[in-house]
Structure 1
Amino acid sequence: MASSSLFHFLLHHQKRSLCTKISSSKWKVKQVTISNFNDSLEEIKTNISNSDFIAISMEKTGSSSTTPWHRVQPFDTAETAYLKASQSAQRFQLLQFAVCPFSVTDSNNLVAHPYNFLLFPRDELKLGMPAYSFLCQTSHLATMARQGFDFNACIYEGISYLSRAQESVAKIRLGTSSPSLGVMKSSSPPTVADTVFIERIRSRIKHWRNTCKNSGTKTSKDDELINSIRNIISGSEQFKLRPCLNVDVCSDRQVQLILQMVVDFSDDLLPLVIPSKGGTTQAVRVVLTKSREDKEVLERELRSLEEEESKKIRGFREVIDLISASQKPVISHNCLNDCTLIHSKFIAPLPSEVDEFVSSLCKIFPKVIDVNYLLKKSGTMKKVTNIRNALSYMNTHFLALVEMEIPDQDTINKGKIDGLDALRLSYLFMKLCSVLKISPVVTESGNRQLAPQLEDFTNVFHSCSANIQESSCNEDVSVWTNNTRKANCEHLVFLWGFKFGMTAGMLKSVLRESHDIFLEEFDVKFVDKSCAFVVFWEPGLSKDFLNVMNDEQISGGLKELVSDGLRVTGYETYRTMCRLGLWEIDLAESLEKSLECSLNDTDIHSERKPEIPWCNDNVINLDDL
């Protein structure tokens, strides 16, 4: 079904949708749209400040789950795992963001404050941001509709937003001439030219200030006329009923020199920065206040106005900034996918390298805990992609009583409830802490600290490694999800072009009979129906196998396999394929295209772009809605 037709179906057939089942009628989530967003901001700000943890969950227009190899696999290095998550974050659009700040009253009780924000990228400032085309998976949207997602509310009442990078661009494009409070920055010692400039401006401001002070005692009409002429000549104006003087500047250096000089000069002078349409500073406006108290009143007034304007631009990102400012631990179900999505939509375009991403992310969320990793470490169950299934399994297999209170949600949920996964996540987190015998209580002495055992579970973005920064240097990867045995990625060889219908066991038997290399220990694992890989447990055998396959004198069983179409390549080709963004449905096709490319590392970096392709009818252009 074409995307446009599917959207019309979703918009006009909501009554036929099925409601999401919840495990308890007492669970309720505050639904937030444009109409109650500002009021909800103050509430969630308080709840975040008083919380110990913040659980998050997102709903977007699609995922990579329909194509097995697009998902992060155990054999992915930190680099390839990041590249896979990045391509998903850049292609799909967020429609829902659930946030649940919660505090732990004791080892088994939590107080939760769940919110569900409906989002839609609306170009409210007419700047071409953040509205852009994005990919949709029709099957994913149909599933959301069956679960009761309200597409009408999302599109017509969803909250828009700009990322931090987009906000900076927006302020420049808006070209506002409104003055703002100057920001003091550290600078190098003044040069001779700086000293001359400062003294010239100081003399001018001193003369102007004295003139304004003296003119306040004059009352005759002649004196008023003389003062008016003096003000015109000196360039003095009024700002909010207060005298002001504009000083033109040529560089940021001059701006900082004037700001520092004015602050040191007098307590009743307030310097303001006047921006130009190009984003640079046009002038510094010096305002003469009646007193130090009057100066503080004016500062508060200007900060309030700046904050209101900024809120209009930031939109929902205000919530992300609140979470970031709190520095509280964030609970997620799939940290790598969630964090790349958050960075892409609310911070800035994703960096090309995983180390740069981790460094940038830790400035926003210093501690992230992946419940998936907790589930894996508990040894109780396999990796589960569905929060509800994981919670159901924990409830039926473990006796871990958790009492949950939702004290202040006055919104009555009628029918379906959106955004329950963040609430479920907080509950599941407490269950897992109980099973693993980890204390979730945050100590209050000095800096708020997690229990040492819980600290070990923070910032694990790749579930097959203890730390993504360490794994970016360590090339050891897993072969199976539930097996701790690892091999260096260079010991893996990808194969495709074998007969359709082969199983891993069948392919392993054929390979064992084809050459003496396979007399040593090796394993075969299918990635998708088109491609498998061989892992050699003895160092050097993978390189020997590739050399044999590239030898013109190949013979025996391997020659027959090659004649039937067998193709092989090493892990570096797979790595290059991910960096080039060759995301075909079949892995074999992507590997073939990667082998055809002869780009060096510099070219690969330049080829990787964040823009999504205009590939087919699954692309939705907001202008067409």
Structure 2
Amino acid sequence: MQYKSSLCYNAFQTADRRRQWPVKQVTKANFAEALAEIKTLIFNSDYVAVSMRKTGTYSSSWRKILPIDTAEIAYLKAKLSAERYQILQFSVCPFSVKDSKLIAHPFNFHLFPRDELKIGMPSYSFSCQSSHLTSMAREGFDFNACFYNGISYLSKTQESAAKVRMVNLRSSDNGVQSSSVHSVADSVFIERIKSRVKNWRSACRNSNKTDDALISSLRKVIAGSELYGSRPCLSIDICSERQVELILEMLKGFADVVPLRAPTKGGGMQVVRVVLTCSEEDKNLLEEELQNMEEEQNRSLRGFRDVIDLISTSQKPVVAHNSLNDFASIYSKFLAPLPSTMDEFYSSLLLIFPLILDTNHLLTKCSPFEKLGSISGSISYLKKRLSAPIDMEIPDQESGNVNVQGHYVLKLCRLFVTLHSILKISPEVHEFDNSPLSPSVQHHANNFGPVSEDNGDSSAEDIRIWTHSSRRVSTDNLVFLLGFEAGATAGKVKRILHDSHDVFSKEFDIRMVDRTCAVVVFWTPGLSEQFMRIMGSGEIISGKLKDMISEGLRAVDYETYRRACKSVLWKTHLAECLDEASGGKETPLSVAKSQREHQLEICWHSDEMINLDEL
């Protein structure tokens, strides 16, 4: 049975009020089944949409990505958020587009980082924001199910480290090459271990089944024999990788043994276990059992990361609404620790996910002069201004596993399909095109906010604010004001500045970054440097501004803001961070300019800044 509807946007709105779209819920209990199902769907789809619910995003207003942020600073903010907050829901929706028809298969995975295998990973602390948890609770999120039955995982880096600590079930001799030259110490070690293995095998083979229990036990003690399951096993302590190589090389001469390697819990001396088999058939059976156990162990280590690996292996375009934040979290949790710079992050990420489509950037192609933040707001805007009828088809899920959690990813699919229709994006492969996807997809892919869509160079440190009358401005023309009285508004500060000095006689703009700091943008080059010099020199300034300076008003440049972000001071109030970054002193702009290799720009629009006057 399938759930179908042929709808335009008005019908979508009506359908949303009548019912919620079905989304398959996945926990530890049904993860294996869902993994097999989603694998086929991913490889048969055109795109894969992803969204997530975390325990928080940004704990204060200035830590959000703002229009004053270059790509470098925006990445630092996304990095901090990804490292601080935990993903509790990860929604994945493989979908295809046929003309204007969306065929979607939504899955909502419940995650929780749990030390399932008792190896000390990925047990770590994380921060929570009450507003995010409250929102999830209102949607019916079952926190008990998440904590007790959520799917755990390890990143690729953590998995590599974990395997060193765990039993390596198979010490395969593949790749172990005989050394042409052995040292005297090597030869002595080999002969000693060979003699021990021979004596142990003989004792096991010659053991008289009619011996009583006491004699049988004594034989095992003398031979140093243990049991691996029902098979005799000999443990050999080793203290170097070289000794492991020598033992594996030596054991090639024994056709009836299987070597296993197990690091000790203390991390010091290791153990190579030699298991004795009774026949070639028994040996093959043991190796098959070990292979199955190793595969199960690796699946337990990877956990939910198997889904991430499937998406990566499929090479399908991945659709997100806020790609910088989302993929910083994906990279941090499932791949490796985040790199220190945006360029490293960008180049490493694209090796794993070569095509990422951000609906925020696609919206700039349709509505370059409107402020469209949320998915719901974007859908509403497009519904009113553009005609884009859509058919939606969602295959029916098992009734016991379907509820409304994770429906956000379906909204994302709906938004993308609308943009897909308007922008004529097509994943079809051209007959003579060597690339896996059509140029139209590649043209729209890999635009990470706040990197400007006009500049395909990932190293560009620009930001695009695609709202009404946006303007490009150098970061040298921005000055941060701090130390003003509590309750000051942008309008009030602007009036005071306008009447205080000739430097403010020409056009300038001001907005509050948070309640402790405002940013001033000068539209005439050179005026910011002049203002910083006035503030630092104590030059006579008239009116209310003079009183504000005497009461502690200070000014710092953009370079100080950059240092505050790079130093990870990240206190609640921006003024405190800027104070620490500047040492409590204004930095002359000429000095800051000489410390940079090139000039940076942002695209400014005051409407995009947080307007505390309206709160």
Look up the match of 1:31: 25
Contact 1:163–1:345 (CA under 8 A) maintained in structure 2 = yes
* Distance (whole Å) between structure 2 residues aligned to residue 278 and residue 190 of structure 1: 30
Look up the match of 1:82: 75
Look up the match of 2:51: 57
Q: Which moved more, 1:122-131 or 1:400-409?
A: 122-131
Letter in 2 for 1:449: P
Look up the match of 1:603: none
> Deviations 1:475-531 (Å, cap 9, x if unpaired)?
445577555532232331111334666654554454344334345554333323432
Query: C-alpha displacement at 1:298, in angstroms?
Result: 5.0
Look up the match of 2:563: 576
Contact 1:100–1:112 (CA under 8 A) maintained in structure 2 = yes
Residue correspondence of structure 1 range 507-546 to structure 2 within 5 A = 507-519=493-505, 521-546=507-532
Distance 1:204 1:60, change over 3 A: closer
Letter in 2 for 1:58: M
Distance 1:243 1:446, change over 3 A: farther
Look up the match of 2:576: 589
Percent sequence identity is 49
What secondary structure is seen at the aligned counterpart in 1 of 2:354? Answer: coil
Contact 2:62–2:574 (CA under 8 A) maintained in structure 1 = yes
What secondary structure is seen at the aligned counterpart in 1 of 2:32? Answer: helix
Distance 1:260 1:387, change over 3 A: farther
Residue correspondence of structure 1 range 121-200 to structure 2 within 5 A = 121-126=113-118, 129-171=121-163, 176-177=166-167, 179-182=169-172, 197=186
Q: Which moved more, 1:458-467 or 1:191-200?
A: 191-200
Letter in 1 for 2:418: K
* Distance (whole Å) between structure 2 residues aligned to residue 292 and residue 443 of structure 1: 53
Letter in 1 for 2:94: P
Look up the match of 2:324: 336
* Distance (whole Å) between structure 1 residues aligned to residue 51 and residue 173 of structure 2: 36
Q: Which moved more, 1:137-146 or 1:505-514?
A: 505-514
Query: C-alpha displacement at 1:597, in angstroms?
Result: 7.8
Contact 1:177–1:277 (CA under 8 A) maintained in structure 2 = no
Letter in 2 for 1:517: V
> Deviations 1:176-210 (Å, cap 9, x if unpaired)?
546324496799x979558995998599879989x
Look up the match of 2:417: 430
Distance 1:426 1:200, change over 3 A: same
Corresponding position: 1:567 with 2:554: yes
Distance 1:45 1:67, change over 3 A: same
Letter in 2 for 1:589: E
* Distance (whole Å) between structure 1 residues aligned to residue 184 and residue 396 of structure 2: 59
Corresponding position: 1:376 with 2:364: yes
* Distance (whole Å) between structure 2 residues aligned to residue 594 and residue 544 of structure 1: 21
TM-score (norm 2): 0.75
Query: C-alpha displacement at 1:292, in angstroms?
Result: 9.1
Q: Which moved more, 1:175-184 or 1:108-117?
A: 175-184
> Deviations 1:417-452 (Å, cap 9, x if unpaired)?
111111222222121111112213356989772222
Corresponding position: 1:401 with 2:394: no
* Distance (whole Å) between structure 1 residues aligned to residue 223 and residue 503 of structure 2: 90
What secondary structure is seen at the aligned counterpart in 2 of 1:406? Answer: strand
Corresponding position: 1:354 with 2:342: yes
Corresponding position: 1:315 with 2:309: no
Letter in 1 for 2:481: L
* Structure 2: 5+ residue stretches without partners: 1-13, 211-217, 586-615
What secondary structure is seen at the aligned counterpart in 2 of 1:486? Answer: strand
* Distance (whole Å) between structure 2 residues aligned to residue 198 and residue 521 of structure 1: 85
Letter in 2 for 1:450: L
* Distance (whole Å) between structure 2 residues aligned to residue 302 and residue 280 of structure 1: 24
> Deviations 1:48-101 (Å, cap 9, x if unpaired)?
23223221111122232x733221112212221122122222332322111112
TM-score (norm 1): 0.74
Look up the match of 2:535: 549
Query: C-alpha displacement at 1:340, in angstroms?
Result: 1.9
Letter in 1 for 2:93: C
Letter in 1 for 2:478: L
Distance 1:351 1:259, change over 3 A: farther
Look up the match of 1:71: 64
* Distance (whole Å) between structure 1 residues aligned to residue 431 and residue 254 of structure 2: 42
Query: C-alpha displacement at 1:118, in angstroms?
Result: 1.9
Which of 362, 378, 394 is equivalent to 1:390?
378
Query: C-alpha displacement at 1:112, in angstroms?
Result: 1.9
Distance 1:422 1:259, change over 3 A: farther
What secondary structure is seen at the aligned counterpart in 2 of 1:75? Answer: coil
Contact 1:99–1:116 (CA under 8 A) maintained in structure 2 = yes
Look up the match of 1:617: none
Distance 1:114 1:261, change over 3 A: farther
What secondary structure is seen at the aligned counterpart in 2 of 1:180? Answer: coil
* Distance (whole Å) between structure 1 residues aligned to residue 534 and residue 180 of structure 2: 69
Corresponding position: 1:419 with 2:419: no
* Distance (whole Å) between structure 1 residues aligned to residue 269 and residue 444 of structure 2: 46
Letter in 2 for 1:146: R
Look up the match of 2:85: 92
Letter in 1 for 2:338: L
Which of 426, 431, 448 is equivalent to 1:461?
448
Q: Which moved more, 1:493-502 or 1:244-253?
A: 244-253
Contact 2:55–2:133 (CA under 8 A) maintained in structure 1 = yes
Letter in 1 for 2:297: E
**Pairs aligned (count):** 567
* Distance (whole Å) between structure 2 residues aligned to residue 159 and residue 238 of structure 1: 34
Look up the match of 2:39: 45
Contact 1:358–1:469 (CA under 8 A) maintained in structure 2 = no
Letter in 1 for 2:72: E
Contact 1:355–1:469 (CA under 8 A) maintained in structure 2 = no
Distance 1:287 1:139, change over 3 A: closer
Query: C-alpha displacement at 1:308, in angstroms?
Result: 1.2
Query: C-alpha displacement at 1:377, in angstroms?
Result: 3.0
Contact 1:55–1:100 (CA under 8 A) maintained in structure 2 = yes
Contact 1:269–1:288 (CA under 8 A) maintained in structure 2 = yes
Query: C-alpha displacement at 1:355, in angstroms?
Result: 3.3
* Distance (whole Å) between structure 2 residues aligned to residue 164 and residue 468 of structure 1: 32
Query: C-alpha displacement at 1:44, in angstroms?
Result: 1.6
> Deviations 1:544-575 (Å, cap 9, x if unpaired)?
33222111444446645423532110112212
Letter in 2 for 1:55: A
* Distance (whole Å) between structure 1 residues aligned to residue 531 and residue 180 of structure 2: 67
Query: C-alpha displacement at 1:130, in angstroms?
Result: 3.8
Contact 1:235–1:245 (CA under 8 A) maintained in structure 2 = yes
